[in-house]
Amino acid sequence: MAAMIASALQLPAVHQQLRRVADLRLRSRAGSLQATVAWPTAADRAPALLVFFPDPARDAGPLCRALCRLADVVVLSAVPRSGPDEPASTAFDDAAAVLGWAADHAEELDADPGRLIVGGEGAGAALAAAVTLHARDEWWPAIARQLLIHPELGAWRASVPYASSLRTAPVAGAAPATVVSGSAVDDGGRRLAARLRKSDVDVEELRHDDVSSAALRASVARSLRRV
């Protein structure tokens, strides 16, 4: 991970209440990854760093900017090079590399390395849960919280470590979680939240179907601000 390099290009502010937004290109032996970083305006303390993996089917920009602004966290959003439908997906390796880079370079992003959050939406939430379990097994990096927004437990092929077995993989010892679940009984978020609670993982479950809801985003932000 230490060999990974980031190059940043400042972009015009996309929200007047954000301090800065920048594009990153993360380069390693495995290839090049696109990422975006958003910084909150609050300067009274070093903010937490949220490493966010978006759902490939959605534009995560508005959600990431809202969380940055409302929760006063630095948000690093990265898109893996391959999606859930590709047979030889590199998504897990990409996500693990991004998380490792973030842990090593949090201070360079003006964030607190002791308050590292991993999050995602949909298939990206499954990927976030996967790298959280990987961090547990490797004892690094230390994750303060995982944010799982409507995780799709069956999104990834069997070749993707952890992410393809979230219905059955042991989850004891995982980082505390904020899980956004829907109203359906078979909702992935409800299922995963129940498994985490059964394994004595601290879980805050937010029941909501609309990811774009201002009320939901405010609730998620309050959860992150406690990290």
The b-or-e profile of 110-120 (16+ CB within 10 A means b, else e) is: bbbbebbbbbb
Taking the mean position of all CA atoms in its chain, how far away is CA 188?
16
CA 24 to CA 36: how far, in whole Å? Answer: 6
Domains parsed from the chain with CATH numbers:
44-225 (3.40.50.1820)
Question: Band of the pLDDT at 29, cuts 50, 70, 90?
Answer: low
Angle 123-177-131 from CA coordinates, rounded to 5°: 50
Q: pTM for the whole thing?
A: 0.90
Helix (H) or strand (E) holding 26: strand 18-28
CA 224 to CA 178: how far, in whole Å? Answer: 8
Question: Band of the pLDDT at 5, cuts 50, 70, 90?
Answer: very low
Give the pLDDT of residue 133. Answer: 98
CA 46 to CA 36: how far, in whole Å? Answer: 19
Interval 33-63: pLDDT, tens: 889 999 998 766 779 999 999 998 888 889 9
Which residues are CB-neighbours of 29 under 8 A, at least 6 positions away? 3
Interval 88-137: pLDDT, tens: 688 999 999 999 999 999 999 999 999 999 999 999 999 999 999 999 99
207, with CB counted inside 10 A (0-12, 13-18, 19+), is middle
Count other Cβ atoms within 10 Å, centred on residue 9: 8
Sequence letter at residue 60: A
Place of tokens 């979680």: 177
